[in-house]
């Protein structure tokens, strides 16, 4: 996969520091990244200034596929399966996903089990609304601090009113909430 990213780091930062920042945000293992700038592959130990990269510059990120056989801790964690209990109204289902999958795959599993359109699902975990493009690992599913290999996600089924979820989010104050069930509005 190839993606353009915009540098938001000081020029004196190293390429490795940039890769660590990408890893922290996207969950991509550092050894699976290749960064290039002006068609030049970046070396981890060099500074961004060495390559003339300033804040706001466009850097190309190329990632390589993860493999189950990779022994690194990051890859092994991404392959770890977690059981996610999805709750809404008075109902709950269990879904099993790998931590290396995006939130959208969780929504697809919900759609397959319950027939609820992915576009209508709004999910939250530990007070945060889940973003489709982010990896489940970025929300710390399966970590000791979030309860181990199981997690509870709360779902709101969007009725089509774009402001309704925002109103309910502030009413129920998701931030920091551990167990909030938001009703489905039809």
Predicted pLDDT of residue 149? 64
Give all domains of the chain, ordered by start, each with its CATH number: 2-69 (3.10.20.90), 80-172 (3.10.20.90)
Residue 10 confidence (pLDDT) above 60? yes
Q: pLDDT tier at 69 (50, 70, 90 boundaries)?
A: low
d(CA 186, CA 75) in angstroms, rounded, equals 41
C-alpha Rg value of the chain to the nearest Å: 19
- Please tell me which residue, 179 or 83, carries the higher pLDDT value: 83
pLDDT (0 to 100) of residue 158? 82
Decide: 95 and 108 in contact? Cβ < 8 Å.
no
Cα–Cα distances (Å) from 15 to 6, 21, 56, 107, in that order, read 13, 10, 15, 34
Q: How is residue 46 written in tokens?
A: 């060099």
Tell me the range of 1-15, 30-44, 112-126, 135-149 where mean pLDDT is highest: 112-126
Instruction: Tell me the two tokens of residue 81.
Output: 């399966």
Task: Go through 130-158 and write b for each residue having 16 or more CB atoms within 10 A of its CB, e for each that does not.
Answer: beeebbbbbbbbbeeebeeeebbbbbbbb
Query: Taking a C-beta distance cutoff of 8 angstroms, is the pair 19, 44 a contact?
Result: yes
> For position 136, what pLDDT does the model report?
86
Dist. CA 88–CA 180, nearest whole Å:
9
Mean pLDDT of 17-26: 86
pLDDT over 90 (residue 89): no
Is 80 exceeded by the pLDDT of residue 14?
yes
Q: What is the pTM of this model?
A: 0.53
Q: Look at 45 and 141; give whichever has higher pLDDT.
A: 45
- Pairwise pLDDT comparison (47 vs 144), residue with the higher score: 47
């Amino acid at each position: 996969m190839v993606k353009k990213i915009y540098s938001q780091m000081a020029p004196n930062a190293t390429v490795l520091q940039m890769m660590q920042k990408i890893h922290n945000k996207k969950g991509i293992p550092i050894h699976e990244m290749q960064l290039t700038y002006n068609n030049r592959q970046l070396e981890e130990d060099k500074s961004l200034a060495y390559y003339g990269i300033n804040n706001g510059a466009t850097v190309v990120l190329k990632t390589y596929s993860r493999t189950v056989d990779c022994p690194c801790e990051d890859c092994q964690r991404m392959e770890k399966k977690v059981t996610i209990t999805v709750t809404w109204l008075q109902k709950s289902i269990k879904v099993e996903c790998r931590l290396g999958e995006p939130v959208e795959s969780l929504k697809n599993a919900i759609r397959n089990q319950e027939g609820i359109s992915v576009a209508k699902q709004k999910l939250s975990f530990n007070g945060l609304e889940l973003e489709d493009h982010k990896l489940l690992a970025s929300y710390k599913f399966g970590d000791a601090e979030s309860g181990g290999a199981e997690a509870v996600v709360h779902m709101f089924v969007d009725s089509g009113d774009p402001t309704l979820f925002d109103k309910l989010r502030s009413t129920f104050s998701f931030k920091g909430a551990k167990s909030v069930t938001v009703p489905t509005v039809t």
